[in-house]
Amino acid sequence: MTPHISAPPGAIAEAVLLPGDPLRAKHIAETYLENPVLYNQVRNMFGYTGSYKGKRVSVQGTGMGIPSASIYIHELIHFYGCKTLIRVGTAGAIQPHLELRDLVIAQAASTDSGINHTRFLGQTFAPIANFELMRRAYDQARARGLPVHVGNVLSSDFFYNDEPTSLERWAQFGVLAVEMEAAGLYTLAAKFGVRALCILTISDQLVKGQRSTPLERQESFNQMVEVALETLL
């Protein structure tokens, strides 16, 4: 039991999917896991453990942003011994060639957040994905015929940014999409020596001003979850 997760020791699997939205954790558990058991309700940040094709898997909501996600990720790794963590989330595309519903595999995560600036005393750390997980997720997506891009993403502290041009510099340097947690996940995975990956589905095309419908979001989210679960096997 930790300040934010009420599960007893051993109740959480070594392999964990991490959606931001706790109701997505519930949806994943009820749709894809056999015998899902709810292990956390603190702050309604639901976490479940069940099995997928015989493998023990947990799914834990993280909330939005690096600070919230980092609390859950730290506790999962440090107190519950989680070893493989895959974030499944949505992102806004900042390159014109990305389409709504495309998959993005975050090879690396740049950030405008202050956490690593503080942690590394003003120097720059490059948060990167685990190569083996990234390769497997890519192969899974390709085998399913899903449009998939691999590259740098921006983990922003802003959903509503006062600076209208804030994303342009990142886009000029090839960053594919903006989300809000991957840099925190990759940094903590590096700190604790475990494996992490972030897979995203494009829910907003920020260059073209397009937004997917709730049904499109759900369908592409499910495809991404299937890729993530197969990556864990």
Quick one: angle between helices 22-32 and 214-232, nearest 10?
60
Among the listed ranges 2-10, 24-32, 85-93, 213-221, the one in contact with ligand HPA (CB under 6 A) is: 85-93
**Of 54 and 214, which has the nearer Cβ to ligand HPA?**
214
In terms of residues, how long is the chain? 233
Least distance from ligand HPA to the Cβ atom of residue 179, Å: 5
Q: Rounded distance, CA 124 to CA 128, Å?
A: 13
Q: Rounded distance, CA 159 to CA 144, Å?
A: 31
Of residues 22, 36, 63, 92, which one binds ligand HPA by CB under 6 A?
92
Of residues 116, 152, 203, 231, which one binds ligand HPA by CB under 6 A?
203
Q: Rounded distance, CA 109 to CA 15, Å?
A: 21
In the three-class reduction of DSSP (H, G, I as helix; E, B as strand; rest coil), residue 86 is classed as strand
179 contributes a contact to ligand HPA by CB under 6 A: yes
Size of the site for ligand HPA (CB under 6 A): 11
Least distance from ligand HPA to the Cβ atom of residue 113, Å: 12
Collect contacts of 119-126 with beta carbons under 8 A, ≥24 apart: 119/187, 125/187, 125/190
Write out the catalytic residue numbers: 204
Of residues 60, 87, 140, 204, which one binds ligand HPA by CB under 6 A?
204
91 contributes a contact to ligand HPA by CB under 6 A: yes
The residue with its CB nearest to ligand HPA is 92
Of residues 178, 189, 194, 198, which one binds ligand HPA by CB under 6 A?
178
90 contributes a contact to ligand HPA by CB under 6 A: yes
Side-chain-side CA neighbours of residue 210 (13 Å): 17
**Of 6 and 161, which has the nearer Cβ to ligand HPA?**
161
159 contributes a contact to ligand HPA by CB under 6 A: yes
**Of 36 and 65, which has the nearer Cβ to ligand HPA?**
65
**Of 76 and 100, which has the nearer Cβ to ligand HPA?**
100
216's tokens: 């499109």
- Which DSSP string do the residues of 130-184 spell out, in sequence order? -HHHHHHHHHHHHHTT--EEEEEEEE-S-SS-S-TTTTHHHHHTT--EEESSHHH
Least distance from ligand HPA to the Cβ atom of residue 203, Å: 5
180 contributes a contact to ligand HPA by CB under 6 A: yes
Q: How far apart are the first and last CA of the chain?
A: 27
φ, ψ dihedrals at 182, nearest 5°: -55, -40
Would you tell me which residues interact with ligand HPA (CB under 6 A)? Answer: 90-92, 156, 159, 178-180, 203-204, 206
